[in-house]
Chain A
Amino acid sequence: MNIGDQAPTFSLPDTDGAEHGPDGVTVVIFTCNHCPYALAWHERLLQVARDYEGVTFLAINPNDAERYPADSYEAMKERVQADGGWPMPYLRDETQDVARAYDAKTTPDVFLLDADLRLRYRGAPDEDYRAELRADWLRDALDAVLAGGEPAQPETKPVGCSVKWR
């Protein structure tokens, strides 16, 4: 999927079984439970979701849970419960169809869709998973899209663990 392409729509279950999909300006984040990069960026991305009310945020775990039990649906539920809930739904992509449709490469891999579900940003949340940053690449792209403009930097290299395909 290239910048400007129409993003595939989907419906996936969250950790309570409710279905979610893109709706208006949407941030799709492929992530997981076991990858240190995903874990290190996690709180930063939750804070972006808290800060941008009115934007749909969807975290999706597409990893093969047979080989990586830490990424099972049950483990996802336990994690969200242990955290006392997240400000975005955590969705299970059991078939990996959504990850394939988006050509997700890593966890995390971030996709920003505008209100017409066209891809406006894709890549990493910011430049360094380990630094004290604020997911500024995503925030800058969101600010541009919400203002009706184009992100200055529409694409960065996703950094993290590979998606664990079946």
Chain B
Amino acid sequence: MRVELLWWEGCPPPPETLADLERVLEEEGVDAQVDMVEVETDEQAHRERFPGSPTIRIDGEDALPADPGEPFSLTCRVYRLRDGRISATPDPEDLREAIRRAR
């Protein structure tokens, strides 16, 4: 499994993004290294199909797909935790489900 964390310095992912991802991967028994990919330009955002920071991709697919109409650009991504709170990082249980789907 290839796992990438794409980010932009304008909306830096909080430390828990990588920590949650690595923890859930380990708990799910997935031996995968997380590649950090910094997106620095709008051209790169389009090329990478980057809907905002942070974005987690598993085997090249957005683990938590953004809305279909979402443009690709250097912007921030807003997540919702399962209890409804707004967050700068996905809910770990959503990551877990995405990892299980990708197996």
Contacts and interface: CB of A to CB of B under 8 A. Distances in A.
Chain B residues touching A, majority SS: loop
Nearest to A131: B85
Interface stretch (A12-20, A31-39, A49-57, A136-144): A31-39
Q: What 5 A-B pairs are tightest by C-beta distance, nearest first?
A: A36-B88, A36-B78, A40-B86, A161-B11, A39-B86
Contacts, number: 39
Interface of B: 9-12, 14, 16, 73-79, 81, 85-88
Interface in A49-86: 67-68
Contacts of B74: 67
Contacts of A67: 73-74
B78 A39 contact: yes
A130 B11 contact: no
Contacts of A40: 85-88
Interface of A: 34-37, 39-40, 67-68, 129-130, 161-162, 164
A53 B86 CA distance: 27
Contacts of B79: 36
Contact of B76 (A34, A129, A130): A34
Contacts of B76: 34-36, 161
A95 to B, nearest CB: 20
A36 B11 contact: yes
21 contacts: A34-B75, A34-B76, A34-B78, A35-B76, A36-B11, A36-B77, A36-B78, A36-B86, A39-B78, A40-B85, A40-B87, A40-B88, A67-B73, A67-B74, A68-B75, A129-B14, A130-B81, A130-B85, A130-B87, A161-B12, A162-B10
